[in-house]
Structure 1
Amino acid sequence: MKKDLNSLFVPVFKRSGAPFVKGKGVYIYDTDDRKFLDFGSGIAVNALGYAHPVIDKVIKSYGASLLHTSNLYFVKPQIDLAELLIKKSFADKVFFCNSGTEANEAAIKFARKYGKTINPDKFNILSFEDGFHGRTYGALSATAQPKFHAGFDPILDGFYYSPFNDIERTKKVLSEHSFAAIIIEPIQGESGIHAASKEFLTFLRDYCDKTQTLLIFDEIQCGVGRTGKLWGYEHSKVIPDIMTVAKPIGGGLPLGVVLCKNAVVAPLAVGDHGTTFGGNPLACLLGLKTLEIISDRAFLKEVKSLGGYLKKKMNELRKKYPVIEEIRGDGLLIGVQLSVDPVPVVAKCKDNGLLVIKAGHHTIRFIPPLVISQKDIDKAVDIFEKTLASM
């Protein structure tokens, strides 16, 4: 009789199947030696797939030479990664932490300290319906989805919500309070892959410029090459004051980053924020190599091309299967909206050897490693079609 492995863990995840033990390229293998084509990338983390030769070499050569020092001291991997992030973005300053939710917590704190230097009442945060910013209390309070708040009320004071992409209703909310910051995902991921319009982001930027309000872009899922550009904000050319980054930036290890302009952090003093483990040397070294690879123009051009090919193949399926209602996304951040509950479809895809992830109410996320090939896409689409045909 097999042991129920879920009995070991706090029941906040619904795991199933045999444990995974190794990965190679865009495939992952379990203890039963089953092979799965991974179009979930560990929830958009494994941008370079599994056992990428550059990452593999760094891990093997680095060993245990310097796994931790704390942030009381300088370490070269942090310096190198910070310099490259600043060079490749709008930012003047970098803060390292361990995850996306931690990055958003820091961004919210930085924004409130900044706002209070202008006006003691300038501490409110505006976010948008169906967005997702994390599960710790500040990030949770910015996540305008009641299902994530249920049982954890009261959330923090000073958070207000507005409909995504709705300029008129957002104007009304903005007129009623004084805001330190507006936080938004340029492309909402968890809600089902919904992009903010250029007009909406431009409106937010204009408002922030006129009112000394900070604009925060949460690029935890859409950043680091996922959309065919290094950063999601490059599509609209709207520049934020703060940007949060995580998921792929650590090369598979836990790493979060807050990128910001000098003016944002001018009010901060030593001890205003901190982290013991944030900016782990090995994670930063893997992040450096990951960013060097992904930021290459030819690499990003290929991501854009592969994303177009994946959308084309999905739109061909849509003509054959009316259950597919809409295809959304940019690059290799693709949402396939269904007219039925996607949960059984996701489970059946796994049975057939394809890993994908549910998003929102009726959408399946296709977020493969950025190193996939057209052949990999063809196989994934074939499995997806086989799954739809069997249900």
Structure 2
Amino acid sequence: MSGDATPGAHGEAGLERGRVDLQRYSHALMGTYGEPMRVLVRGEGSWVWDADGNRYLDLLGGIAVNALGHAHPAWVAAIAQQAATLAHASNFFATEPQIRLAERLLELSHAPSGSRVFLCNSGTEANEAAFKMTRRTGKSTVIALEGGFHGRSMGALSMTSKEAIRAPFAPLLERVVFVPRDDEDALRAAAVAAGDDLAGVILEPIQGESGVRPLSHAFLAAAREVTLQRDALLILDEVQTGVARTGAWFAHQLYGIRPDVMTLAKGLGGGFPIGAVVAFGERAGSLLTKGDHGTTFGGNPLAAAAANATLDAIEAEDLLGNAKAVGEHLRTALAEVSGVVEVRGEGLMLGIGLAAPASAALAKAAVDAGFIINPPSPDTIRLVPALTLSVAEADTFLAWMAGPGSRIVLEAS
């Protein structure tokens, strides 16, 4: 930890730089994200600094991306070394970092013989590839969940239920059926209706964008049963839950259920763009063959080196253990905060359920006080910080949540 700026404290002289940069942003970039909260200029560990010199505890982690925090020395060194050696080679060639990463993912996921990995650049691309895999089964119907989020490309968006982001791009791909989360009867009925055309079921073990909502063990078991009965693919979207986020390497390991296909991204690269599809077993591993799919940048040695460094650091520093311990510390303390009715999730993927729809106002008050949090739904705050977050750092946020700054917002709502 370094820097002496006070979290959330703004001076008029410093603010001018931030205002100017935000004006430049609005004139140069498309308005797809709304107005940014701040202009960030550097980070270290779980802390970031804005253009005005203010420091913030980053409890969003780039939306579960910065698994090692900011500027982790081993991660920086690995990228620098690889960039000075070989940054990119087309997929007409293989590279050692690419091979090592694929082997490591198969090892960590306990994948059986015949399993294979496809490397890409993002979670959306990973889910797009998974969607194409369902079509290669020779069948067409995919069951997805209400509240699920799988990306914004046309295939991934077709499996995402949120109408507000679907409607402008209709018509989307056909034969995607949505069922309510944790409704086993609806899942089984949809499978019966699909009959022999059921190609796959896709779901997130913990739905992130709808408010950090874990699926029940019974529902996930039912999804596994349904897909086995109908020779369909069980696809687990672990873009947000994967890579030690939940205190396990992959969230499905907490459920004791192995999918046919798993998609990864976000934390895999520790801040460098990369995605992956892990296909389990001979059948799934052979669905995509030469010419079926591809990507220019996917699995390039620079991205693979970043991912390898991330996995190495998670293991060397026991960040799975830290995610469980610090996550439990946060969960226990937050449950005692007035206005908090529920704390959902696993490890360092937590949803703070509020008694009132005050999440947006609370997130604004938090950033003004020097804490970056996220309101994925009106009554939920999402925490997905670096896996390196310490108890002492977490306690600064807990003190604010228990203090007048948050209480004023919650009581006003």
Give the 3 Å change call, closer, same or farther, for CA 266–63 of structure 1 in structure 2.
closer
- Between 214-223 and 352-361, the greater mean CA deviation after superposition: 352-361
Counterpart-to-counterpart distance in 2, 1:216 and 1:123: 14
Q: How many residues align?
A: 381
- Alignment of 1:126 with 2:143, yes or no, is yes
Structure 2 match to 1:301: 321
Q: Kindly, what percent of the aligned residue pairs are identical?
A: 37
Q: What amino acid does structure 1 have at the position aligned with 2:167?
A: A
* Cα contact 1:251–1:283 (8 A) shared by 2: no
Q: Given that residues 181 and 214 in structure 1 are in contact (C-alpha distance below 8 angstroms), is that contact kept between their aligned partners in structure 2?
A: yes
Amino acid at match of 2:119: F
Is residue 2:121 matched to residue 1:102?
no
For 1:177-326, what aligned pairs fall within 5 Å after superposition? 177=194, 178-261=197-280, 262-295=282-315, 298-317=318-337, 321=338, 323-326=339-342
Cα RMSD after superposing both structures? 1.5
Match of 2:180 among 150, 153, 163: 163
Alignment of 1:15-30 (within 5 A): 15-30=35-50
| Aligned 8 A contact 1:18 1:32 in 2 | no
Task: Tell me by how many angstroms 1:90 deviates.
Answer: 3.6
Corresponding residue of 2:346: 330
1:257 and 1:112 map into 2 onto residues whose CA distance is 19
Q: Secondary structure at the match of 1:243?
A: strand
- CA shift at 1:112, angstroms? 1.2
User: What amino acid is aligned across from residue 96 of structure 1 in structure 2?
Assistant: L
Three-state SS of the structure 1 residue aligned to 2:67 is coil
Query: Partner residue of 1:87?
Result: 107
In the superposition, the TM-score normalised over structure 2's length comes to: 0.89
Gaps of 5+ in 2: 1-15
SS of residue matched to 1:84: helix
Separation in structure 2 between the aligned mates of residue 217 and residue 305 of structure 1, nearest angstrom: 25
Cα drift, residue 310 of structure 1: 0.5
Counterpart for residue 375 of structure 1: 392
Q: Judge conservation of contact 1:100–1:256 (CA < 8 Å) in 2.
A: yes
The one-letter code of the counterpart of 1:175 is V
Distance across 1 between alignment mates of 2:151 and 2:277: 14
Deviation at 1:251, TM superposition (A): 2.0
1: CA distance, partners of 2:238 / 2:382: 16
How far does residue 140 in structure 1 lie from its aligned partner after superposition? Answer: 0.4
Alpha carbons 2:39, 2:51 under 8 Å: kept: yes
Residue 74 (1) aligns with residue 81 (2): no
Q: Does 1:388 align with 2:406?
A: yes
- Per the TM alignment, residue 150 of structure 1 is displaced from its structure 2 partner at its CA by 2.2
Aligned to 2:57: 37
Separation in 2, partners of 1:149, 1:345: 28
Aligned-pair CA distance for 1:375? 0.4
**TM-score for both structures, normalised by structure 1:** 0.94
Higher mean C-alpha displacement, 128-137 vs 90-99: 90-99
1:119 aligned residue: none
Partner in structure 2 of residue 142 of structure 1? 159
Provide the C-alpha distance between the structure 2 equivalents of 1:253 and 1:273, rounded to a whole number of angstroms.
22
Contact 1:208 1:215 in 2 (8 A): yes
Structure 1 residue 297: Cα displacement:
8.8
Separation in structure 1 between the aligned mates of residue 273 and residue 359 of structure 2, nearest angstrom: 29
Q: Distance in 2 between matches of 1:223 and 1:180?
A: 24
Secondary structure of the corresponding residue to residue 181 of structure 1? strand
Letter in 2 for 1:9: L
Q: Provide the rounded CA distance (Å) in 2 between the counterparts of 1:379 and 1:264.
A: 46
